[in-house]
Amino acid sequence: MATVVTMPKLGTTMEEGTIIKWLKKEGEPVEKGEAYVEIQTDKVNLEDEAPESGILRKILVPEGAVVSVGKEIAIIAGVDEPLPEIGEEKAKEVAGPASKDFKTGEEIKEQPKETEAVEGKVKASPAARRVARENDIDLSKVTPTGPDGRIIEKDVIDFIESQKIKATPLAKKIAEEQGIDLAKIQKAPGERITREDLISKEEQKQQAPVAARIRNTIPVTGMRKIIAEKMAKSKVTAPHIYLTLEVDMTKAMELREKLIPAIQNQYGSKLSYNDILIKASAVAIKQNPIINSSFNDNEIIIKEDINIGLAVALENGLIVPIVRCADKKGLGEISKDTTQLIEKARSGKLLPDDYQGGTFTITNLGMYDIENFKAIINQPESAILAVGKIMKKPVVVDDQIVIRPMMNLTLSCDHRVIDGAQGAKFLQSIKQILEEPLKMLM
């Protein structure tokens, strides 16, 4: 039995997908479970597997097409098996009218008329043709007044006169002085351009804003479309409050340097500041569980699992892979997880389980020399932590001015869920952990 394959739902937020590449061509055999098409979701590129074995008889949508979830994209069937009607109709829609390499009898009969129109066989006197040739006039545009629809010399001369721009002497002088193209002044046929027309044109030119030249346009599709929709929705529906403080990273940096060799040897990954921030945030969330929540109509849902997302920049947007149950993992496990997730994200190999189900997000722009910034909450989460660059600054310690590596943290909170004092306590918890990092190892 023929199988009509539809656009699969490859994630909870997926509403449409883009056909990136057909891995099988029409007429090629495909086995059940074999990858036959590459699809771009709102997050990543994934290969979809054939639901049945057979021949890929029909491809219903071309590469690059955006298709809603549940819509037909292909038909898999036996060699001689009749195809469902829907497949035939869709194939015609996608392919469009079939091109012809032959002409029917009727087309051949009509061909002389088409040739006459194309070649412009016009009846005209020799004098008319000479004037037209000298003035580069297309005789097919001239209205004939001679016998039997013939164009005479006067017809060509009248046509030339009708094409001339008529303007008063003063208008011509003003146009010449100010560099105004009289051909761009619109007047009714036969009417002359006057000084008032030029003044009106100049006023319009001065009033009209000068548009910037367009370099190119980028279609808002796939990942960029989802980012635009989610960020706009978050700013509209979640009243953001922002809280910022500075953290002395001296001891956190020392701990990192001590642990790098051991974690590298045991887990094959290099411990990063993001790994330390993930662990510190997870410990702080256990102390402040309201941060690990979401708003749902008339209730606040506090999550049990602490799944921390790390924003990863991609060429065409960003994605937030998840470190699950980060509070229960050590720094080595977290480092291994983030290394693998970042590699998968940048190669487009993330699976839905890798980026769905987060409860809190960290976004770090310190590597771009950004000192501090305010991030937009990644709904349905209720908070996001924005991390700035570690910078050496003069600070007062025990009444002495010393130079310390300082880092800004800015917490964005959904005020429907988290009050300012609650957000501040959470930031204080992170600060205490980072400034005494052995606490998160206990």
Question: Does 315 lie in the same domain as 399?
Answer: yes
Kind of pairing between the strands at 360-364 and 308-310: parallel
What does the pLDDT read at residue 147?
84
Predicted confidence (pLDDT) per residue in 240-258, tens digit:
999 999 999 999 999 999 9
Q: Rounded distance, CA 232 to CA 226, Å? A: 10
What does the pLDDT read at residue 200?
64
Question: Does 419 lie in the same domain as 271?
Answer: yes
Q: Is residue 35 part of a domain?
A: yes
Question: Does 370 lie in the same domain as 250?
Answer: yes
The CATH number given to whatever domain includes residue 23 is 2.40.50.100
Q: Does the pLDDT at position 106 exceed 70?
A: no
Residue labelled with tokens 């491809």: 59
Q: Is residue 106 part of a domain?
A: no
Domain that holds residue 395: 222-441
Backbone angles phi and psi of 240, in degrees to 5: -85, 140
Question: Does 324 lie in the same domain as 252?
Answer: yes
What does the pLDDT read at residue 213?
82
Q: Does the pLDDT at position 229 exceed 50?
A: yes
Backbone angles phi and psi of 201, in degrees to 5: -65, -40
Q: Is residue 205 part of a domain?
A: no
Question: Does 264 lie in the same domain as 314?
Answer: yes
Catalytic residue among 49, 415, 425, 432: 415
Helices (H) and strands (E) counted in the chain, each on its own, are: 12, 19
Q: Is residue 375 part of a domain?
A: yes
One-letter identity of residue 162 = S
Instruction: Report percent pLDDT > 70 for the chain.
Output: 87
Question: Does 141 lie in the same domain as 59?
Answer: no
Q: Rounded distance, CA 394 to CA 403, Å? A: 4
Q: Rounded distance, CA 129 to CA 151, Å? A: 9
DSSP 330: -
On average, the pLDDT of the chain sits at: 85
What does the pLDDT read at residue 210?
64
Last residue of a domain, one of 95, 112, 137: 95
Q: Which of 56, 60, 52 is nearest to 87 (CA)?
A: 60
Q: Is residue 212 part of a domain?
A: no
Q: Is residue 108 part of a domain?
A: no
Distances (CA, A) of 110 to 57, 98, 116, 140: 38, 20, 10, 20
Q: Rounded distance, CA 62 to CA 90, Å? A: 11
Q: Tell me the pLDDT band of 45, cut-offs 50, 70 and 90.
A: confident
Question: Does 347 lie in the same domain as 429?
Answer: yes
Residue labelled with tokens 């392919």: 95
What does the pLDDT read at residue 175?
75
Distances (CA, A) of 13 to 17, 19, 157, 352: 11, 17, 69, 10
Q: Does the pLDDT at position 400 exceed 90?
A: yes
Backbone angles phi and psi of 124, in degrees to 5: -155, 150
Question: Does 263 lie in the same domain as 177?
Answer: no
DSSP 221: -
Predicted confidence (pLDDT) per residue in 340-394, tens digit:
999 999 988 888 899 999 999 999 999 999 999 999 999 999 999 999 999 999 9
Q: Does the pLDDT at position 118 exceed 50?
A: no
Q: Rounded distance, CA 306 to CA 269, Å? A: 22
Last residue of a domain, one of 192, 213, 232: 192
Q: Domain count of the chain? A: 3
Question: Does 268 lie in the same domain as 167?
Answer: no
The CATH number given to whatever domain includes residue 391 is 3.30.559.10
Q: Does the pLDDT at position 76 exceed 80?
A: yes
Q: Rounded distance, CA 182 to CA 194, Å? A: 10
What does the pLDDT read at residue 339?
97
What does the pLDDT read at residue 209?
61
Last residue of a domain, one of 49, 78, 95: 95
pTM of the predicted structure, to 2 decimals: 0.63
Kind of pairing between the strands at 383-387 and 360-364: parallel
Tokens, residue 244:
């910022």
Sequence length of the chain is 442
Compute how many other C-beta atoms are within 10 angstroms of the C-beta atom of residue 425: 15
Question: Does 91 lie in the same domain as 125?
Answer: no
Q: Is residue 302 part of a domain?
A: yes
Question: Does 292 lie in the same domain as 246?
Answer: yes
What SS3 state is found at 314? strand
What does the pLDDT read at residue 325?
97
Question: Does 308 lie in the same domain as 164?
Answer: no
Q: Which of 76, 73, 83 is nearest to 56 (CA)?
A: 76
Crossing angle (nearest 10°) for helices 273-287 and 331-346: 120
The CATH number given to whatever domain includes residue 179 is 4.10.320.10
Q: Rounded distance, CA 294 to CA 416, Å? A: 9
Mean pLDDT of 405-420: 97
Contacts of 114 (CB under 8 A, 6+ apart): none
Q: Is 415 a catalytic residue?
A: yes
Predicted confidence (pLDDT) per residue in 270-329, tens digit:
999 999 999 999 999 999 999 999 999 889 999 999 999 999 999 888 999 999 999 999
Q: Does the pLDDT at position 111 exceed 60?
A: no
Q: Is residue 229 part of a domain?
A: yes
What does the pLDDT read at residue 110?
38
Q: Rounded distance, CA 23 to CA 3, Å? A: 18
Tokens, residue 333:
């496990």
